[in-house]
Structure 1
Amino acid sequence: MLGCDLVEIDRVRKLYEKFGEKVVKKILTDNEIKLFNQFNKNRKIEFLAGRFAAKESVIKSLNKQIVSFRDIEILRSDTGKPVVKVRDKVLDNLELSISHTKNYAMAISLLKE
């Protein structure tokens, strides 16, 4: 099953400016928050938008079986490849790609049967 999502980075920036850490804690897991906190402000927004798009994409690939963004964790392997965990279980059969431009964050995922 294929999943895809596109997010306007400025929309995420406005949410972050309005709600701050509340929006971060809704989207990111504790491990992702540790990564998030290492970045400067602009990179934080890009990271948050990318993770939002990626998690939406994963939810679509999994046929919407997930109810919380925090059930999904996206970290990186040593090579930089996204590693997706759902409820602490690595999904070896799910491929994920995240990309950013100045205005958009986009993710596409493929669940291999």
Structure 2
Amino acid sequence: MIGIDITSVERIKKMYEKFGLKAYEKFLNPKEIELIKKPETAAGFWAAKEAASKALGTGIGASCGFHDIKISKGELGNPKIKYRKKVRKAFGIKNSYLSITHDSGFAIAVVVNVLK
């Protein structure tokens, strides 16, 4: 299962300027917020969570919300993604892989889920 998303960095930046930390809390957990050093990173995380939900075939909603998806960084700084146990079980996910890039004002993320 593959999902992809593109997000405007400017849109996430304006959202943060208008609502402050509450904007990030809408789609990020406290550990993810600690990783945000610039708007490009926040936009990449938004795109990653949208891509992850699309890889399930659901989009963000009742079956999988923003807080059901966790993003972290590996030892080499690579992005890592994990779904909550209830989502992994419901969709039969064995492993998940994430790639994020940003350029020219956009962040793009691709998620691949390997099923059991």
TM-score, scaled to structure 2 = 0.81
Distance 2:75 2:34 in 1: 17
Query: Within the alignment, does 1:55 sit opposite 2:46 as a pair?
Result: no
Distance 1:3 1:83 in 2: 15
Percent of residue pairs bearing the same amino acid type: 39
Structure 1: where are the runs of 5+ without partners?
A: none
Instruction: Identify the residue that residue 31 of structure 1 maps to in structure 2.
Output: 31
Contact persistence 2:82–2:96 (CA under 8 A): no
TM-score, scaled to structure 1 = 0.83
Contact persistence 2:44–2:100 (CA under 8 A): yes
Q: How does 1:1-113 map to 2 (within 5 A)?
A: 1-36=1-36, 39=37, 43=38, 45-64=39-58, 65-66=63-64, 68-87=65-84, 93-113=95-115
- The RMSD of aligned alpha carbons is 1.9
Distance 2:30 2:77 in 1: 19
1:83: how far off? 1.8
Structure 2: where are the runs of 5+ without partners?
A: none
